[in-house]
Amino acid sequence: MARNNDEKMSREEAGRKGGEANANKQDKEFFQEIGRKGGEANAEAHDREHFQEIGRKGGEATAETHDKEFYQEIGRKGGEATAESHGKEFYQEIGRKGGEATAESHDKEFYQEIGRKGGEANAESHDREHFEEIGRKGGEARGNNRDGDEEEDGKMSREEAGRKGGSR
């Protein structure tokens, strides 16, 4: 037990003992209720800018004391929790909103550039056989999605044209 020079209990020790006694006497709902009341009082006492400022300061302090792995781990956990609590529609909606926001803030050249970079990265990470295989699968899937050999506009499919052209 921490004592000061007068052999009296320190404030720290008295606070700890009082907190332990209170924790043993009260139930979970009690602490939830006082937490809710305190949160409401705090929200009424401060404006939005106050909370933005303390959030910014907290973020800066956290960034100074944590490394890249910490952020990767909390990002992974957050992503898993979100995936468990949201369905396909949620992701479709945020994807749509993100696409719209991006489309409003970028021009044609932006999309050409990211398409070029994506194509280059894809070409560097796969060999010729990979592209032949996905091309074959795409052609088969496209052919399987048609009822006949001709498209709705009366034109022959590429797959059918290839079969007919190769059968001479």
Residue 14 lies in a domain: yes
Q: Which of 140, 161, 141 is nearest to 150 (CA)?
A: 161
Residues 87-115: b if buried by 16+ CB within 10 A, e if exposed: eeeeeeeeeeeeeeeeeeeeeeeeeeeee
Residue 32 lies in a domain: yes
* More confident site: 163 or 42: 42
Give the model's pLDDT for residue 21.
95
Distance CA(92)–CA(98), nearest Å, equals 10
Residue 53 lies in a domain: no
Residue 78 lies in a domain: no
Residue 131 lies in a domain: yes
Q: Domain total for the chain?
A: 2
**What is the domain extent for residue 20?**
8-45
Q: What average pLDDT score do residues 50-61 get?
A: 96
Give the model's pLDDT for residue 159.
73
Structure token pair of residue 6:
């007068």
Residue 18 lies in a domain: yes
Where helices occur in 46-157 by DSSP H, the ranges are 48-65, 68-85, 88-105, 108-125, 128-144
Residue 79 lies in a domain: no
pLDDT per residue as tens digits for the range 74-110: 999 999 999 999 999 999 999 999 999 999 999 999 9
Identify the band that residue 168 occupies on the pLDDT scale cut at 50, 70 and 90. very low
Residue 3 lies in a domain: no
